[in-house]
Each structure stands twice: as structure tokens, then as C-alpha cells.
């Protein structure tokens, strides 16, 4: 593997950062403050790690102007060091770039439309009427269903399944094991027996959407399931049918969103959060980890539920008291009435 190196001067220019140090110093990778060597670049985004600045061997450190004191190395000053690190991470990403073309072991229906500069990996299946846009890469073993469209610059990792009539925007990134457009959980009950309801809607992903490994997004029952522009979904997330997620929202692993719920834009859901069905969540709502939402949230803000871990003995006592809260509340109400009388 060829190791690419860059001058600090060109890095500073690309990031729009102020360089304090030697612009000719070259770096060939990224590392933490503790592990960085003399040819690597590091960053300081969390003040808790500032103690490692004095001893770092990094060629340069990206940090904020407020943290730019007496540093033993070159520094790149940015108001958002973590964003600088994020942008530079792509410069050193070792993931192989797929060359344009269709692998001989791929199965492509003659009616599918494949851009000349797209890549279709071995054993991938492209079904009838699918449209694969410019510079799209389809990983090995992935299945692209009938009439599904994938926008320019999107990357579909190995073993992804996109069912029929899915629409994927531009520059999306879908990781291995994801299933998009599977049938929603829809059944009608008659006399104790369940009857399947055909799921007639689609899944529509906006631009710059990321879908984590083994995440599932169900197609709509009638209307579409819609994931807005810039949404980031972690691994092992379940998005049920007819859910709508607003632009630039992010969800950590094991979040579950029940059917027909509408999520606003710029929301952040912590790991293992759950939202019941047919609810509306406002813009800029932050759910902390393992929060359960059973009613509409109409105001932006941070919301929590659940309790932290405790010793089993104390937890059992508190659980008993929790079940007594309603009785206690009624007694308090009666006492207030008597005191008012």
C-alpha cells in the first residue's frame, strides 16, 4: 500500500486553518495525541486530553485558538478541531477505490441502466429497471431490486439489500447487512388469526444519508417511508413503515422507531432509544440513551427516561416505591384538600 504524505502548508490551506509552525513539515497519517509519531497529525477536541499535549510526538496538532498555549509542536488552529480531523480522515482512508466496470460474476438484468463509470462487484445482482448513477459503487453480493434508483456518488457496501422501488439519493453510504425497503410489519387480525397486508409504499432516502450495518428501513404500507437529507443512522437500527425522519437527524445504535411516526430535523437519539408509533417529534429534540417516548414531543430540548444501574437490592426497593407513586399522589391530593378546607 502506497503511503501518501502531505505538507502542513497544503493541509492548512485546505482546512482554512492558521498554521503556527513549519509549512514544509510532511505528515503521512493521523493518530491520537498519545500514540502519534513524528510523521503523524493529531487533534485536540476534548479538553480532557489536553494533558497529553506536552508529551505528544505528533508532527502537528489541530486545536482551537483557546487551547493554543505553549505547545511543543506545530499547530493548526481551527474553531472546530474535530471537524478538521473529520475532513482530513478521508485523505488517509485506506479503503480501496473500486474501478469502474461490471464484474464478470455480477448478474445484471438487460433492462437495468448502469452509468459507464459505476462499479458493480462480484455476485452483485441488479434487477430489472434499476438505475445506477454516476460513480456509484455496488459491493460484492449486494442485491438492487427492480426499479430501484441510486444517485450519483453513492456507495453500497457488500451484502446490502435494496428491495424494489427504493430511491437512494446522491452521495449516500449504506453499510454491509443493511436492508432497505423490506416489508413493514402490517397484519390485520380476525378471530385470533393474522392476515398479511401488502406494503405498497416505497423507501425514499435523501442526499448524503448514511445507513449503518444491519440497519433495516421498512417500506411504507401506503405512503412512503422517507429519510431526509444528511440523516445518519448507526448500526442495528429499526425504522418501521411510513416513518419520516427530518434532515440532518442522527441516531445511535439499537434505536427503534415504530410505524407512522414523524421525526423532526436536527434530532439526535441516543443508543437504544425507542419511539412508539403514530407520534410527532419536534425539530432539535435530543433523546439520551435508552429513552422511551410514548407521546408527542412538541418542543425542542433534551429528554430522558429510564434509570441508571444500581445495586440489585436498592433497585428492587425503588421499584416497589415506584409502584406506590400513584397511591402516594392520591394521598397527597387528599391532604391538600383537607388543609385548604
Q: Note whether 187 and 199 are within 8 A (CB).
A: no
Among residues 19, 48, 17, the alpha carbon closest in space to that of 34 is found at 48
Q: Note whether 276 and 294 are within 8 A (CB).
A: yes
Cα four-point dihedral sign 237, 298, 183, 169: negative
Q: Note whether 260 and 275 are within 8 A (CB).
A: no
Any idea which residues carry the catalytic annotation? 241
- Half-sphere CA count of 338, side-chain side, radius 13 A: 6
Q: What CA–CA distance (Å, rounded) separates 111 from 17?
A: 49
Q: What CA–CA distance (Å, rounded) separates 286 from 270?
A: 8
Beta pairing partners, 335? none
All cell numbers assigned to 168: 437512494
Q: What CA–CA distance (Å, rounded) separates 263 from 181?
A: 19
Q: What CA–CA distance (Å, rounded) separates 30 from 236?
A: 28
User: Cα-Cα-Cα-Cα dihedral of 306, 217, 224, 132, to 10°?
Assistant: 150
Amino acid at each position: 500500500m502506497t503511503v501518501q504524505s502531505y505538507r502542513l502548508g497544503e493541509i492548512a490551506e485546505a482546512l482554512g486553518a492558521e498554521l503556527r509552525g513549519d509549512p514544509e513539515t510532511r505528515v503521512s497519517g493521523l493518530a491520537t495525541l498519545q500514540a502519534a509519531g513524528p510523521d503523524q497529525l493529531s487533534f485536540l477536541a476534548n479538553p480532557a486530553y489536553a494533558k497529553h499535549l506536552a508529551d505528544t510526538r505528533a508532527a502537528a496538532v489541530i486545536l482551537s485558538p483557546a487551547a493554543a498555549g505553549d505547545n511543543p509542536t506545530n499547530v493548526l488552529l481551527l474553531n472546530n478541531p474535530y471537524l478538521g480531523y473529520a475532513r482530513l480522515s478521508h485523505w488517509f482512508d485506506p479503503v480501496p477505490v473500486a474501478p469502474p466496470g461490471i464484474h464478470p460474476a455480477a448478474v445484471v438484468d438487460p433492462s437495468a441502466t448502469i452509468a459507464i463509470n459505476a462499479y458493480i462487484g462480484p455476485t452483485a445482482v441488479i434487477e430489472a429497471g434499476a438505475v445506477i448513477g454516476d460513480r456509484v459503487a455496488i459491493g460484492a453480493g449486494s442485491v438492487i431490486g427492480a426499479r430501484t434508483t441510486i444517485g450519483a456518488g453513492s456507495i453500497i457496501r457488500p451484502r446490502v439489500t435494496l428491495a424494489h422501488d427504493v430511491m437512494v439519493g446522491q452521495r449516500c453510504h449504506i453499510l454491509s447487512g443493511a436492508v432497505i425497503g423490506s416489508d413493514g410489519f402490517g397484519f390485520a387480525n380476525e378471530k385470533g388469526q393474522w392476515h398479511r397486508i401488502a406494503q405498497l409504499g416505497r423507501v425514499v432516502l435523501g442526499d448524503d444519508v448514511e445507513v449503518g450495518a444491519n440497519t433495516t428501513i421498512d417500506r411504507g404500507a401506503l405512503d412512503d417511508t422517507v429519510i431526509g437529507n444528511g440523516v445518519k443512522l448507526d448500526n442495528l437500527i429499526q425504522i418501521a413503515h411510513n416513518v419520516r425522519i427530518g434532515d440532518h437527524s442522527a441516531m445511535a445504535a439499537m434505536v427503534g422507531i415504530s410505524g407512522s411516526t414523524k421525526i423532526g430535523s436536527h434530532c439526535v437519539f441516543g443508543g437504544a432509544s425507542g419511539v412508539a408509533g403514530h407520534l410527532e417529534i419536534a425539530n432539535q429534540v435530543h433523546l439520551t440513551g435508552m429513552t422511551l417516548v410514548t407521546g408527542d414531543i412538541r418542543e425542542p430540548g433534551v429528554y430522558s427516561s429510564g434509570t441508571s444501574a444500581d445495586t440489585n437490592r436498592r433497585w428492587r426497593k425503588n421499584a416497589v416505591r415506584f409502584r406506590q407513586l400513584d397511591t402516594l399522589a392520591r394521598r397527597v391530593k387528599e391532604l391538600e384538600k383537607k388543609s385548604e378546607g
